[in-house]
Amino acid sequence: MGVQSIERAFSVLRRLSSGPAGVTEIAERVDLPKSTVSRILSTLEGIGAVAQTSPGGPYRIGEAMLDLVSALLPGRGLIDSAYPHLLELMEATGEAAGISVLDGDLVHYLEQVESNNPVQVRNWSGTRVPLHVVPSGLVLLAWAPPAHQRAYLQRTLESFTAKTVVNPAAIAQRLGEVREQGYAWVFEEFSEGINSVAAPIRDSTGNVIAAIHSHGPAYRFPLHRSTALLGDAVVAAAGRVTADLRSNPTVP
């Protein structure tokens, strides 16, 4: 039904995705003449979609394939832009800092930098948690389309600790406060012993596309420090990331 040679090229790539292989081996596996496989590999090599492990050696998937999916690997470019500002924020608050994006009804933690403090909040990179229990989630929800917000609040909201707010009306009011203040604090609603504060990152058109946060053990964060000052620090860090994105708008 489709274009034959394209389908064949992807059969070859699929074989290579499970490890390097030579022309003959691939030809047997995908049931094609060697000459055809050789020609396909030459073409793919010219594109950069495959490469030889060593000159004259077996073929493997090429770096160009990474560029093609970079938009999919959630926010690779975003992480690169945000990294230095995560470090700054970590130094400013003395606690771990991280960024996250919205993934459906969950907040997806992309990256985290840690302080060198021996007592640390574990690294949540790669995990996803419901929006209403973490400040990053509240931030992302606060600037989501109203229709999304309403849909989210109509669902049954899970409670994680004794302090978790699950009342839809209470959360809706909270979202308003977050929009006013520009940041969100959550005190032990996701996990007992962890406090966290977050602010929104915007793309070059002003849409909120991610959140940046800092979090630490409840016994020392924020402790005697002003939640407003810490909030401002996070907002400032988010602003710097936003500014960077504006000057280099290549992020998904």
Partner DNA sequence: CTCAGCATTCCACGATATGGGACAGGTCCA
Partner DNA sequence: TGGACCTGTCCCATATCGTGGAATGCTGAG
* Binding site residues, DNA, CB under 7 A: 3-6, 8, 22-25, 32-36, 38-42, 56, 58, 145-147, 151
The answer to the question of residue 83 lying near its own copies (CB under 8 A) is no
Handedness of CA 127, 130, 133, 139 (dihedral sign): positive
Number of residues that bind its own copies (CB under 8 A): 44
Taking residues 39 to 78 in sequence order and writing x for each that binds its own copies by CB under 8 A, - otherwise, the string is: xx-xxx-xx-x---xx-----xx-xxxxxxxxxxx-----
Q: Which listed option, its own copies, DNA, none, makes contact with residue 159 (CB within 5 to 8 Å by class)?
A: none
Residues between 109 and 148 that touch its own copies (CB under 8 A) = 116, 118
Closest CB 17 distance from its own copies, rounded Å: 5
8 A C-beta contact, residue 112 and residue 106: no
Identify the three-state secondary structure at position 98: strand
Q: Which listed option, DNA, its own copies, none, makes contact with residue 35 (CB within 5 to 8 Å by class)?
A: DNA
- Which is nearer to DNA, 118 or 145 (by Cβ)? 145
Token pair 């620090």 is found at 233
Classify each residue of 175-201 as buried b or exposed e, where b means 16 or more C-beta atoms within 10 Å of its C-beta. Answer: beebeebbbbbbbbbbbeebbbbbbbb
